[in-house]
Structure 1
Amino acid sequence: MKRLGTVLHRSGSKNLVIRGDEFKSENASGKIPRLNLVVMDKALNQIGTIVNIFGPVNHPYFLVKGFKRIPDSEFRGLVNERIYVR
């Protein structure tokens, strides 16, 4: 499991904007995650997929579209929490 970043805020009802951790291009483990990867919270619950990547290359932002089965109240609780990818 690899840390993706921290949730900045919600955008719409089930979208999250995530500030990515620093990615360094010098080593192979510093690759930016690709689109459509499933993201998880700290309890390993799958919460959505990456649908957009934007911003600077070394500290990108990610737009995550949440799964429909997850209630809105759970998305509100994710603000300022760390998010992970496999």
Structure 2
Amino acid sequence: MRRVGLVVRTAGGLAIARADTAAEPPRIGSSVVDESLSTVGRVVDVFGPIDHPYVAVTPNDGVGLASLVGGKLYAR
């Protein structure tokens, strides 16, 4: 498991996380969990600058987007 980044905002029904480093970002389709290891969604896009990309995560049913803002996400 590796860290995806910190959720900085929501947009269009997606959680947008800012990656910490230029380390290889997660693959599109990767499962994403929160700090309590609960599955919250899947990676649908990686975009932005190479040194600190953004990762778009589509949430699973029943996951409140607002509750993810400010939290750390991890890819399995």
- Please, what TM-score do these two structures have when normalized by structure 1? 0.80
Partner of 1:27: none
Q: Which residue does the alignment assign to 2:2? A: 2
> Taking every aligned residue pair, what percent have the same amino acid on both sides?
33
Indicate the SS of the match to 1:77: helix
Q: Which runs of 5+ in 1 are unaligned?
A: 24-29
**Counterpart of 2:32?**
39
Look up the SS of the partner of 1:39 in the other structure.
strand
Aligned-partner Cα distance in 2 for 1:31–1:11: 23
Verify: 1:60 aligned to 2:60, yes or no: no
- Cα deviation, residue 31, structure 1: 2.1
- Specify which structure has the higher proportion of strand: 2
Q: Distance in 1 between matches of 2:24 and 2:68?
A: 24
> Matched residue of 2:68: which SS?
coil
Name the SS for the 1:8 alignment partner.
strand
Unaligned runs of 5+ in 2: none
**RMSD across aligned positions (CA):** 1.3
The CA distance in 2 between the partners of 1:57 and 1:33, in whole Å, is 13
Greater helix percent: which structure? 1
Bigger Rg, structure 1 or 2: 1
Determine the structure 2 residue equivalent to 1:21: 20
Cα distance in 1 between the residues matched to 2:25 and 2:69? 22
- Structure 1 runs of 4+ with >3 Å offset: none
